[in-house]
A and B are shown apart, each in its own frame.
Chain A
């Protein structure tokens, strides 16, 4: 029996010739990511148990959540993260240089066929590069640091075929919102999403990262894209070691196949209070907006900012609206500078923030008051996550968010 992409990677990492959904395997880990917020629960365990890290070169530590800290409690996480990185000689340590989920792909640290885990549910982002990547708890991370392996139940795979090509101002984020409208927030619980089809092959790495980032929002264990020319050319500039292709078998068995025609897609929004509460933008057009966020590990990459700038250029953010622009990494920030896009955003009255997670996790930087409405390019709009439980949060593409920023209301970016 053939294997899906996820099954193949897990079989190899477990030293087995084949696996099937439901098997429990012990897989060796190629990459382990910890950040200041949830790594801060791992560090004391590592110290208390006297754990010797199995391979510190396979460990990435990033300060991206409380970056910089806005309270004494957060300052303690950050201080302890720095202490840990020093004590354990972590070479891949990034102190407020952006979100780990952008830095890791950007630095070529995740590659096809790898098994990656992180103390963050959006670790599934790295599937864009053809890796098996998933979020784990802080205590499990202590286990990984000690043993270099972890148990997984092999997930059944849902194949998501996206045919055709995306119309203008319809982005990868819209594809994922469409997937969420089909699967709902638990349609893929314990499963893998394997993205394939013409529109995926044409999609940039930025788009693929956005797509896989939100796999967890369907309940999935991981999202993954088969490595192709886009993958190799992205990695060629970032990694010079050997890399091997990995692909699903032709006779792989899928739990379910979903087909989406990209050509027929329109801009979508996830309405309050669920990423699965998805409608086409025209259904909520006219809704007044108080805050716009363009950034985060979902929608803070160059493709997003170029799309946003195209709409924002020459326009103004109304004085009663705030628009936060948060590059996902310092490299992206620099690229914005080089492409003169920071000027576009500043001229419009946007607020340029430093690279970090932003208000998405509700830690700081743009929390919402009762009754306020936000359109953001991030991945979750659970009630109260980003501030008051009485605030309303809509998830959208960078193009739709930019259109909201300069009009102060939800509008179809194709009408701009």
Chain B
């Protein structure tokens, strides 16, 4: 997988839940556009505005905790999130994000070493980040190979399509 380059547009602390990303009380439609507009409303009402140009989120531990709702990564993506770099990522959200084609990566130490406005370069496969603004490089958790394959296919639905086509072709 190729490197991703972008600017940090939002920074969060610990325990940002999938309720924060897509609160049930605001989910009136599952369209990405509608979800993008309500993303993070209770924690940061300006979030969609901040993300509009498209960029990265830096966050603390337990990012994406709570509900298994896939509206959460859909909402983040629709709001303009190109990747999430967090100290730690909750497990269901981790799987959902990669399955839906949103790059997420665990980099311990990232919150101390990246701020809003910094330019980052991330490598999902090796699990590393370089802060191009400060020159600091950090190593985190590599992504399992088959998950990067799912990402490359464009997400799990595309991956499953290919898989089903193969088995039907037999």
Task: Kindly list chain B residues whose C-beta atoms are within 8 Å of the C-beta of A119.
Answer: 68
B52 at the interface (CB under 8 A from A): no
A362 x B25 contact (CB < 8 A): yes
- B17-40: CB near A (< 8 Å → 1, else 0) gives 101100111011110000000000
Q: Is the CB of A383 within 8 A of B67?
A: no
Instruction: Chain A residues near B152: list those with CB within 8 A.
Output: none
| Cβ contact of A139, chosen from B24, B62, B156, cutoff 8 A | B156
CA distance A45 to B62 in the complex (A): 29
Residues of A within 8 A of B30 (CB): 40-41
Minimum distance in angstroms from A290 CB to a CB of chain B: 17
Most A CB atoms within 10 A — which of B24, B25, B69, B90? B24
6 more A-B residue pairs beyond the given contacts A120-B68, A274-B15, with a C-beta to C-beta distance below 8 A: A73-B27, A119-B68, A137-B95, A151-B146, A185-B62, A216-B92
Say yes or no: A38-B42 contact (C-beta < 8 A), given A142-B157, A367-B25: no
Say whether B155 faces chain A, with CB atoms less than 8 Å apart. Answer: yes
- Would you give the shortest CB distance from B45 to chain A, in whole angstroms? 10
B155 partner, pick from A73, A139, A389, beta carbons under 8 A: A139
A51 at the interface (CB under 8 A from B): yes
Interface size counted on chain B using CB atoms at 8 A: 39
Q: Is B119 an interface residue (CB 8 A)?
A: no
Q: Which of B42, B146, B156 contacts A383, CB < 8 Å?
A: B42
Q: Produce 1/0 per residue, B47-87, CB < 8 A to A.
A: 00000000000000110011111110000000000000000
Interface range on chain A: under 10, 10 to 19, 20 to 34, or 35 or more?
35 or more
Q: Check: A49 CB closer than 8 A to any chain B CB.
A: yes
Residues of A within 8 A of B (CB): 24, 37-38, 40-41, 45, 49-51, 71, 73, 119-121, 135-140, 142-143, 146, 151, 153, 185-186, 189-190, 216, 219, 221, 274, 361-363, 367, 380, 382-385, 387, 389
Kindly state the separation between the CA atoms of A135 and B27 in the bound complex, as whole angstroms: 21
Cβ B67 vs Cβ A121 within 8 A? yes
The reply to whether A382 and B17 form a contact with Cβ atoms under 8 Å apart is yes
Whether A384 lies near B23 (C-beta < 8 A) is: yes
Please name all residues of chain B whose beta carbon is closer than 8 Å to the beta carbon of A37 when the two chains form the complex.
69
* Cβ-based interface call for B164 (8 A): yes
Q: Nearest A residue to B17 by beta-carbon distance? A: A382
| Interface pair A189/B70, CB less than 8 Å apart | no
**Lowest 5 CB-CB distances: which A-B pairs, in order?**
A384-B42, A137-B96, A362-B24, A186-B62, A389-B42
Report the bound CA distance from A271 to B20 in whole Å: 18
Interface positions of B (Cβ within 8 A of A):
14-15, 17, 19-20, 23-25, 27-30, 42-43, 61-62, 65-71, 88, 90-92, 95-96, 99-100, 144, 146, 155-157, 160-161, 164
Name A186's closest neighbour in chain B (CB-CB).
B62
Chain B residues near A219 (CB-CB < 8 A): 62, 65, 90-91
Supposing A49-B164, A146-B164, A274-B15 touch, asked if A140 and B25 sit within 8 A by C-beta, the answer is no
**B92 contacts A136, C-beta separation under 8 Å:** yes
Chain B minimum-CB-distance residue to A361: B24
In Å, the complex CA distance between A253 and B131 comes to: 39
In angstroms, how far is the closest chain B Cβ from the Cβ of A146?
6
Name the one of B15, B69, B95, B144 contacting A185, with C-beta atoms under 8 angstroms: B15
Chain B residues near A140 (CB-CB < 8 A): 95-96, 99, 156
